[in-house]
Structure 1
Amino acid sequence: MDVKKQIIALSYKLFGNLIEKNEIDKISLCTDLKEELKFSNIHLSLIEYLCVALFCSCACFVISTPIISVFILLITEEVFFGLFLAIFGSFFLCVVVCVGFYFLPFMLKGEQNKRIDDILPFAMSYLTIMAGSQNPSVSMFKTISRFDEYGEVSDEAKKIVAEVEMMGLNFKDALSNAAKRTPSKKFKNILEGIKSTIEAGGDLKSYLKDTTKELMAFYKIRLEKYENQVMLLTEMYLTAVIVGSIFLLVISVIFSVIGTASNELIISMQLAIVILILPASSAGFILIERGIAPAQA
């Protein structure tokens, strides 16, 4: 048993009865969370997920309280004041952990949805080519499942092929199951459209070709929007971070010359700007840029 399974088992042992007895999993917020867990690739039941959230919150409180207490004690040399701040700070961290656990499935679903929508035009282009070569529908998904470049679409294709070939499920039913699993509305509509086209005996190649053109048009708009966002972020970064940091350094030098602040304070401020603010701002800019960047096949 790996560490992950051990933590899940221990969490359920400690908090499982508490959650089930008080029916915490039936609260409206938890009901919404249950729906999001289905799309976020977190392979846990709602009760297991709540148990892990409570376990991590309690562990955070137990670990952070003595650390914060010692840190504040070294600064203030006040035992009771340090203990009070440590308990308050640890409780705040517990709340942050709980809130983080609640929003994590929503965030994972959003990221997965974004990845699917960004890679979908390229995956559909490949499916259109496969449909033009008169391949059976299952073979199209089997072929695209071999290419990791298509990310989430390839993963979903693998599940469809597995349900058909290993579980003996009807191909149209496998498409319906995939449409229910995926967090992407676009991909869901495409899967349902493929199913409807097959049932009606329509031209699958024409449907996929028209869908690909529409997706490519949306992707082009997405790229233009991304370009404008990057330009805006770059201007904000140069103005607020680079120019702002230089301005603060100049102001600190002026204060040092006129003697309105101690040298230790000025040096500390300059070090904070150079060592903390600039690297943190640069890292934040890179993370934001990568977050809004569209995927490419």
Structure 2
Amino acid sequence: MSFLKNFEQKDKQKKLNKKIDAELPFFITIVTLLATSGYGPYSIFIKIKDMELLPNVRKEAIKILKKIDLLGVDPLSVMMEVKDKGPSNFGEFLNGYVSAIQSGGDVVNYLKTKMTSAFDLYESAQKGLVEKVKALVDTYMAMQIVILAVYIIITATTTGGIGTPQLETDVDPLYLVIIMPPLISGLFLLLAKSINKSKVEEMNLKKIIMFGSPGIIISTIIIFLNALPNYNLFVLGAALIVSALWPALKFQKRYQFSLDAESASSIILRDVAEARKAGLGPEKCVIQATKRTDFGLFNKVANGISNKLEWGMGLEDIYQFIKKETTDFQILINFRVLFEIISSGGGNVTTLDTLAGISEKIRNIEKSKREMLKPYVLVGFMLIGITSFTTLLVIDSLTSIGTDLETDAEKQNTLQIESDARFELLGIAILAQSWLSGLFLGKITTGTYSAGFRYSIILVIIAIIAIIVIQSKIFSVASVFG
């Protein structure tokens, strides 16, 4: 029992360390900048206690402060005790921080070195994330090819292929195969959940369902009642496009705001640092930097900061204003740290310059990651487009060959009806797969499922074009056989 208890504790601590590691680069940055401004360890943890943006580090800071305030333990001793809980990057950092203080060394230099190292690791982690995405996309491509092969085999054995006897089974295997593409895409949607996480908030699921479900329900009823027998696939395709239209447009604006805010915040921090070098007061530096009108969708927030500072509002109130306008972690942490530095003593040039440099580094890392992930959108379009067209082409051609070779007019008519019904079922599966694949592409490239709605629209349109081309008999393998 004691073994199991120890195992559970170690596992729990390991999971906690993993969460803390994600926040560690930003924690080290805050410690470094506050230490550069003249703050000691205890005062820094007081500041960290109010940092809701770093929830896991905040909890550790509260634990440390409780031991100091309630038990009267020396701050440095409490910081050293963190490492005794088990190996962790957080504990090692605090241990090194304490050692630098006790040895009388250059504490700020140590902190800057650790800060640089932390962001180097952060950059490596983002590059590793791209490799994971590549592996996932490669697997997804392989699965699409397997599904295509299975489709061809099932169609050849259940429809009689090129005039061969039809395989008799109790349950038509085609019905089982039809659900494979949506299921595979759904599975990969779940696998992508933990690979790439965005700082942009997802769209509200209830609103998406409220907007999209009526069209899909109506199209399902039309298909079930066979009200428009020759247009069922187009009705479903239109419903899927309409269901994705509102969230696609809404999220695109939110995503563009995030990009503009990311760019603007690093520019503002650099302008503040440069203006401070010229001798302007910190508040005037911020006012001057945020008065610009070239920040795109972030102009409203930036100009709002400038106006509120001129009106004499406090930095905490201004931060709350920014928090209402965006939930982007990177933007919030930039302004939170900037305001903490200013309120902690005006912000010396070195501290502000360091903050601007870190912000620019993070922006470059995120920008580089986005650029490396962009090609996978094109790969996804080609993959889904080609497999959709090829699947429909081969299956339509195989079923058509058997129909064309039949000499009895009544049997030929029956086979044609069965062929059209099978094509429609497969078309429904392809459309559903295209829609889900768009969400998958959005998740792996931007970190949010919501970004995939615009890709879903494009992929469904590609699938509809493939259906039109195949139904119009522009391409057909059957023509080879006369």
TM-score (norm 1): 0.58
One-letter amino acid of the structure 2 residue matched with residue 35 of structure 1: N
In structure 2, the partner of 1:38 is 9
In structure 1, the partner of 2:173 is 266
Q: Deviations over 1:215-259 (max 9, x none)?
A: 11122112112112211211211222x332233233222221122
**Which structure would you say has the larger RCO, counting Cα contacts within 8 Å and 6 or more residues apart?**
2
Tell me how far apart the structure 2 counterparts of residues 109 and 283 of structure 1 sit (CA, whole Å): 29
| The one of 45, 52, 55 aligned to 1:148 | 52
One-letter amino acid of the structure 1 residue matched with residue 28 of structure 2: M
Report if the CA contact (8 A) 1:36-1:109 is conserved.
Answer: no
Q: Deviations over 1:146-173 (max 9, x none)?
A: 1122232222111111211233221122
One-letter amino acid of the structure 2 residue matched with residue 262 of structure 1: T
Percent identical pairs in the alignment equals 20
Tell me how far apart the structure 2 counterparts of residues 116 and 215 of structure 1 sit (CA, whole Å): 13
Alignment size in residue pairs: 195
One-letter amino acid of the structure 2 residue matched with residue 269 of structure 1: L
Report if the CA contact (8 A) 1:145-1:154 is conserved.
Answer: yes
Tell me how far apart the structure 2 counterparts of residues 275 and 263 of structure 1 sit (CA, whole Å): 24
Report if the CA contact (8 A) 1:160-1:174 is conserved.
Answer: yes
| The one of 232, 236, 256 aligned to 2:135 | 232
Structure 2 alignment gaps of length 5 or more: 161-165, 200-328, 331-482
Is 1:171–2:75 an aligned residue pair? yes
In structure 2, the partner of 1:97 is none
One-letter amino acid of the structure 2 residue matched with residue 250 of structure 1: I
| The one of 176, 188, 195 aligned to 2:98 | 195
Q: Deviations over 1:174-210 (max 9, x none)?
A: 11232223x5522121111122122223332221111
Structure 1 alignment gaps of length 5 or more: 1-24, 40-105
One-letter amino acid of the structure 1 residue matched with residue 176 of structure 2: M
Tell me how far apart the structure 2 counterparts of residues 263 and 233 of structure 1 sit (CA, whole Å): 36
Output the aligned Cα RMSD. 2.6
In structure 2, the partner of 1:256 is 158
Q: Deviations over 1:39-90 (max 9, x none)?
A: 5xxxxxxxxxxxxxxxxxxxxxxxxxxxxxxxxxxxxxxxxxxxxxxxxxxx
Tell me how far apart the structure 2 counterparts of residues 210 and 185 of structure 1 sit (CA, whole Å): 18
| The one of 131, 139, 150 aligned to 2:43 | 139
TM-score (norm 2): 0.37
How far did 1:143 drift?
0.7
Distance 1:247 1:261, change over 3 A: farther
How far did 1:109 drift?
4.1
Aligned runs of 1:18-57 on 2, under 5 Å?
25-26=1-2, 30=3, 33-39=4-10
Tell me how far apart the structure 1 counterparts of residues 176 and 148 of structure 2 sit (CA, whole Å): 12
How far did 1:37 drift?
3.5
| The one of 107, 112, 121 aligned to 1:204 | 107
Q: Deviations over 1:93-150 (max 9, x none)?
A: xxxxxxxxxxxxx3x4443332222321111011100101111211101212211222
Is 1:127–2:31 an aligned residue pair? yes
SS of the aligned residue for 2:63 comes to helix
SS of the aligned residue for 1:202 comes to coil
Q: Which has more helix, going by share of residues?
A: 1
Tell me how far apart the structure 2 counterparts of residues 160 and 261 of structure 1 sit (CA, whole Å): 72
In structure 1, the partner of 2:354 is none
Distance 1:224 1:145, change over 3 A: same
Distance 1:174 1:118, change over 3 A: same
Is 1:111–2:28 an aligned residue pair? no
SS of the aligned residue for 1:234 comes to helix
